[in-house]
Structures are given as C-alpha cells and as structure tokens.
C-alpha cells in the first residue's frame, strides 16, 4: 500500500514510453554514407533499436545517399560493419539511391496536387523574395507548366542550377526556414557512385516519402531536425498522409574528440590520424580497437536517454560501463613499464603461479619462473624504497649505495611484507619476457609483458596495476596493445 504511494520517487531506469506504440512500432536508423559511424550515430541507432525491442516491430536501416557530394563508396560497407558490431536488430535495409523512381513519381503527384512547383528563379533572388515573404513568379504558374518543367528536369533539357522543385508552404510563416523549401534539384557533378542520375531529392522530400512508404511510425532523432520535422509536415499534409510520432533529443558533445566526419577525413588525409580507427577518434571502430565493448556503448547511450537538453558525453561514464563488462572476463598479466633488470642475491630458483583471474580460480594460473634476475618497473625503484614484494613470488630487500641499488632475497613471508608495508609490485622473469608497447590517447608506454599475452590477440586483458588494454598486434618484435581505461 505504501509502496504505491512512494513509487513516484523511484529512479526510473528505462526509457520513457512512446505514445501510440502499444501495438508495435516501425522505426528507422538513417545514416548518410559519408564515413563510418561514431558515438553520435550510436545514440540514434541504439535509442531507436531499444524502442523497437521494447514494443516489437520492424527496424529499418535506410542509407540516405541522395547527395553524391556526401557519399563515400566505402562507407556503405563501413556502416554495415559498425551496425553489426553494435548488434542492432535491423530487420530490413533500403538504399535511397535505388529508389529514385519512387521519389520522381511522388513528386509528379505532388505537382499535380499543387503542393509543389518547379522554380526557375535564381537562388539569390529567391532567397531575397523569401525573406520578404513574397512569392516568386513560378509559384503561381499552372500545373501544366510545372509538369512540363519537371519533364525537362528529368530528360536533362534543364541543367544544374537552373531549376528547383519547391514545396508550397506558407510564405507568411514567421520562420523563414519554413517558406517554400526545396525538394529536388539537378546535380551533374560529381557522378553518384551507385546510380546514374541527375535529379536528386533533398532530404526533406525523400525522408517523408520513405517514412510513409515504409510505414515508419516513430522517429527519434536529434533536435537539429526539429525544423525539418516542421517542414516535412507540409508534405504530409499535401498528400494527406499520417504523420509519425517524433522525438528530438538534444545535442551531444564529446570531450576531447572531433565527431565531424569531414574533419576526421581531413585529419586522416593530412596524416594527423592513422585512419578511421585511430584511437583519438570518436568512431565506433576506434572504440572497438581500444577494447570498448559494444554493450558498454549501448548502456552508456541508453543511460543518457532521449532528453532534449544539450549534454556532454563523458568518457568516465563509458569507461565505467565498459569496466563492468570487461573486468569479469579479462585475464590478468604482468606488464612492467620502463623495465630495469635486477639480480636478486641469495634467491634460489622459484616458480610463481599467478591467477589468471582473482575472482575465478577455475580459470587457472600462469607460470613465471624465477632463475636469478627479474625485470622491475624502473619508476618504483627509488632510493626511499628498501623493501618490496614481488607479487606471487617473494620479498626483496633493497640496499642503496648512493644511487646504486642492490637486491637481495628477503624471505617468502607475505605477512612480513605486509608488516613492513612493502609495496607488492609486478615483475617479469629476467630470462623470459616480451617487449610490449601500450598506445594511449596521449602517447606511448614502453615495457615488457608476459609471453603468454601473445595468446590474447584481439582480447582485452588487465595489466595489473596498470589498467585494461586490448591486445592489438603480436609479432616477433613483441606485443602492441591499446590502453582501454584503468
């Protein structure tokens, strides 16, 4: 009884309900194939995906490639790879460049209905008229003339820059962005990589056409589309179509990375970045390369939700999500940064058995054989340090002669090490280790790691007292890893 009263104060952890979704939804993710997907795309993709999963229905991937200037032929494949990595429940895929005839047909219908006209005014001139809330001469020409001009567009009698199909809206609308916005234009260059065409719809037209044709019921997109939603409503009204339910979430900035595809491309071309998966980039493939799990991205994005406030995406929150996923599965190994070789006097050969995972003994151990010398992290061996414990091995006493340390065996007792507050540090057998480079977003960390790390290629492991890393490459020179997070 009281529970019901206090329910209001519970922390809601699921996304808010969508209206009119009780009987299932049809939603879509509609990227422009100009490059691989980044975190910004992931928000749209994951949010829509989550709602489709919640209510049931179809989830359409729609490739919006109606502007040949903004199409990178390689992006079609990259987008699909990224979606596969995210594990979205896409049920069907359509590509807009393959649907041009559908748009042409609808455009003709719209012209016949008087909802659109073919404008031959100069752009600058039209813009001035628009600002002045004045109709251009083409606006009132008869349907027949519009149809005739439309034919001339299609048969290419008219050339790029000479005509624009406009949607008839309201010239007195207080927002100039709403007034008779464009729907089609001619583009001769560059050629479209997928289709031979010269008449292309603008986003507002093709989106409405497809949302209607595909039966889209709900649209979740960024608030940069709010004005488009308003414009698109005019097209729905002209056709008498049912308008989907819209939700617009706020802008998302990300600390420290560029999200603009064109900026990233520029950086890659200039050699500033190594490629689309350069770990300094916010692309999904960069995150994957660094060992971020797709589920971590999903969880982080869902936690943000669909609020319409502008937010800044925090790496901390993503890392926390990722750690929850990766910590239980990552094997533990020793990595010694800036290694120094130390001979341990008075120590007999020992064999250390260290657990692959402290919380899962069943996973077994790794074996490290001590035969007289060890590699130690140089930074930890400073003159104020007189006793250390090599983890899973034994205690070592350090005596300093000026700045020259001498290492000697000091017993196996863990209790003793604790009593002296000796640091327990990671180490490697002097006779057996492999070179290892860890690449972080800030730079490189050089050191050595256990040979067995070579078997973890492609996986995320934890270097004890260093952090989680993804093993990116293994060769004769050693191991290259990307730093994931601490």
Partner RNA sequence: GCUGCUAUAGUGUAGUCCGGCCAAUCAUGCGGGCCUUUCACGCCCGCGACUGGGGUUCGAAUCCCCAUAGCAGCACCA
Q: Looking at beta carbons only, is 30 or 439 nearer to RNA? A: 30
Q: Looking at beta carbons only, is 70 or 278 nearer to RNA? A: 70
Chosen residue from 29, 41, 67, 264 binding RNA by CB under 7 A: 67
Chosen residue from 10, 270, 384, 475 binding RNA by CB under 7 A: 10
Near RNA by CB under 7 A, which window of 84-92, 171-179, 289-297, 440-448? 171-179
Burial of 38-64, coded b for 16+ CB within 10 Å and e otherwise, reads bbbbbbbbbbbbbbbeebebbbbbbbb
Long-range contacts of the stretch 344-349 (C-beta < 8 A, 24+): 344/370, 344/372, 344/373, 344/374, 344/396, 344/407, 344/408, 344/409, 345/406, 345/407, 345/408, 345/409, 346/408, 346/409, 347/372, 347/394, 347/408, 347/409
Q: Which two tokens stand for residue 240?
A: 């008498």
**Residue 249 near residue 43, CB atoms below 8 Å:** yes
123 binds RNA (CB under 7 A): yes
Near RNA by CB under 7 A, which window of 82-90, 282-290, 315-323, 453-461? 315-323
Chosen residue from 48, 97, 146, 164 binding RNA by CB under 7 A: 164
Measure the CA dihedral 206/211/214/218, to 10°.
Answer: 160
Chosen residue from 168, 289, 366, 465 binding RNA by CB under 7 A: 465
Q: Which two tokens stand for residue 299?
A: 């969880």
Supply the DSSP symbol for 12.
Answer: P
Site for RNA in 243-272 (CB under 7 A): 250-251
Q: How far is the CB of 394 from RNA (least distance, A)?
A: 8
Site for RNA in 350-379 (CB under 7 A): 358-359
> How many residues touch RNA (CB under 7 A)?
79
Q: How far is the CB of 472 from RNA (least distance, A)?
A: 20
DSSP states along 312-341:
EE-HHHHHHHHHHHHTTTPPEE-EEESEEE
For tokens 């054989």, name the residue.
369
Near RNA by CB under 7 A, which window of 42-50, 134-142, 282-290, 300-308? 300-308
Q: How far is the CB of 148 from RNA (least distance, A)?
A: 19
Q: Which whole-number Å values give the CA distances from 186 to 161, 390, 447, in the listed order?
A: 7, 72, 58
Q: How far is the CB of 476 from RNA (least distance, A)?
A: 28
For tokens 């628009």, name the residue.
130
218 binds RNA (CB under 7 A): no
Near RNA by CB under 7 A, which window of 30-38, 75-83, 102-110, 139-147? 30-38
392 binds RNA (CB under 7 A): yes
Site for RNA in 87-116 (CB under 7 A): none
Q: How far is the CB of 67 from RNA (least distance, A)?
A: 4
């Amino acid at each position: 009884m009281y529970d019901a009263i206090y329910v209001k104060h519970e922390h809601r952890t699921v996304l808010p309900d969508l209206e009119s979704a009780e009987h299932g939804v049809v939603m879509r993710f509609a990227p422009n194939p100009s490059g691989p997907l980044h975190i910004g795309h992931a928000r749209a993709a994951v949010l829509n995906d989550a709602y489709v999963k919640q209510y049931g229905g179809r989830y359409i991937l729609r490739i919006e490639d109606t502007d040949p200037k903004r199409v990178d032929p390689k992006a079609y494949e990259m987008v699909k790879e990224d979606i596969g990595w995210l594990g979205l429940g896409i049920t069907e895929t359509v590509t807009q460049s393959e649907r041009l005839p559908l748009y042409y047909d609808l455009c003709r219908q719209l012209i016949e209905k008087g909802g659109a006209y073919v404008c031959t005014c100069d752009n600058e001139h039209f813009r001035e008229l628009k600002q002045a809330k004045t109709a251009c001469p083409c606006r009132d020409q008869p349907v027949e003339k519009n149809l005739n001009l439309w034919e001339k567009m299609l048969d290419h009698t008219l050339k790029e820059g000479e005509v624009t199909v406009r949607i008839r809206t309201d010239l007195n609308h207080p927002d100039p962005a709403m007034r008779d916005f464009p729907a089609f234009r001619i583009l001769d260059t560059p050629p479209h990589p997928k289709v031979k065409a010269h008449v292309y719809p603008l986003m507002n037209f093709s989106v409405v056409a497809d949302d209607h044709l595909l039966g889209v019921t709900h649209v979740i997109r960024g608030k940069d589309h709010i004005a488009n939603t308003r414009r698109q409503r005019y097209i729905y009204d002209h056709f008498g179509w049912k308008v989907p339910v819209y939700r617009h979430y706020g802008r998302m900035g990300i600390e420290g990375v560029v999200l603009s595809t064109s900026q990233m491309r520029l950086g890659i071309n200039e050699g500033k970045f190594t490629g689309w998966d350069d770990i300094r980039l916010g692309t999904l493939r960069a995150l994957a390369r660094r060992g971020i799990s797709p589920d971590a991205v999903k969880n982080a994005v869902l936690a943000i939700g669909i609020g319409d406030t502008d937010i800044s995406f925090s790496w901390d929150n993503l890392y926390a999500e990722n750690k929850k996923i990766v910590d239980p599965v990552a094997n533990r190994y020793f990595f010694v940064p800036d290694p120094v070789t130390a001979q341990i006097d008075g120590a007999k050969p020992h064999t250390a058995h260290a657990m692959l995972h402290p919380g899962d003994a069943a996973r077994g151990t790794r074996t490290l054989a001590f035969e007289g010398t060890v590699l130690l992290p140089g930074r930890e061996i400073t003159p104020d340090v007189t006793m250390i414990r090599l983890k899973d091995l034994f205690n070592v006493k350090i005596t300093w002669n000026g700045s020259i340390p001498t290492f000697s065996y000091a017993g196996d007792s863990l209790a003793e090490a604790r009593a002296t507050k000796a640091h327990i540090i990671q180490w490697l057998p002097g006779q057996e280790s492999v070179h290892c480079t860890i690449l972080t977003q800030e730079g490189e960390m050089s050191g050595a790691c256990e040979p067995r790390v070579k078997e973890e290629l492609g996986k995320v492991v934890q270097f004890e007292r260093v952090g989680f890393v993804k093993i990116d490459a293994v060769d004769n020179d050693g191991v290259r890893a990307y730093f994931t997070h601490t």
